[in-house]
């Protein structure tokens, strides 16, 4: 069975594409919504590293990390499962850098099946902080 959802104000019109029989269902947004804090993306050592903090983490079921090359068409890059830990929780996700300009967003699926999205971000190369290096730095000058 193939389904499509069309949003009309506070009502979802659900239409079964197999027999074109519309069915209306009242939409009830979740009272609690997880909030994405500090969503960042950096490129470091040929990897894209995404990090974010979720507030109201206990209501989150899973987080789909989505990737795009044009800020419009997104595909799932990975899946991160939520924890039952209450309040604020930090998450990390990384993948190999694709050598093209990439854009990321988070698709947050709550335990009540409501969905929200983060803002769209694009990774930038990480800045090297020489104070954080614990090993000797070797430079060759010709």
Q: 118 and 51 in contact (C-beta within 8 Å)?
A: no
Q: Which domains does the chain have, with CATH numbers?
A: 1-28 (no CATH), 31-125 (2.60.40.10)
pLDDT tens by residue, 50-105: 999 999 899 999 999 999 999 999 999 999 998 889 889 999 999 999 889 999 99
Q: Is residue 49 over pLDDT 50?
A: yes
* Residue 29 pLDDT: 47
Answer with the residue of higher pLDDT: 6 or 18.
Answer: 18
24-26-27 Cα angle (round to 5): 125
Tokens of 31: 């009272």
| pLDDT for residue 8 | 27
Q: Is the pTM of this model over 0.85?
A: no
Structure tokens at 56: 């109201």
Residue 59 phi, psi dihedral angles, 5° rounding: -95, -5
């Amino acid at each position: 069975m193939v389904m499509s959802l069309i949003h009309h104000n506070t009502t979802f019109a659900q239409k079964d594409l197999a027999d074109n029989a519309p069915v209306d269902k009242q939409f009830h947004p979740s009272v609690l919504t997880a909030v994405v804090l500090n969503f960042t993306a950096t490129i470091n050592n040929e990897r894209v590293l995404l990090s974010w903090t979720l507030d109201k983490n206990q209501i989150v079921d899973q987080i789909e990390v989505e990737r795009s090359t044009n800020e419009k068409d997104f595909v799932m890059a990975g899946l991160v499962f939520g924890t039952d830990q209450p309040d604020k929780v930090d998450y990390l996700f990384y993948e190999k850098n694709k050598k093209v300009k990439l854009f990321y967003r988070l698709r947050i699926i709550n335990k009540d099946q409501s969905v929200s999205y983060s803002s769209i971000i694009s990774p930038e190369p990480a800045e090297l902080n020489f104070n954080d290096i614990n090993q000797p730095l070797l430079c060759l000058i010709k």
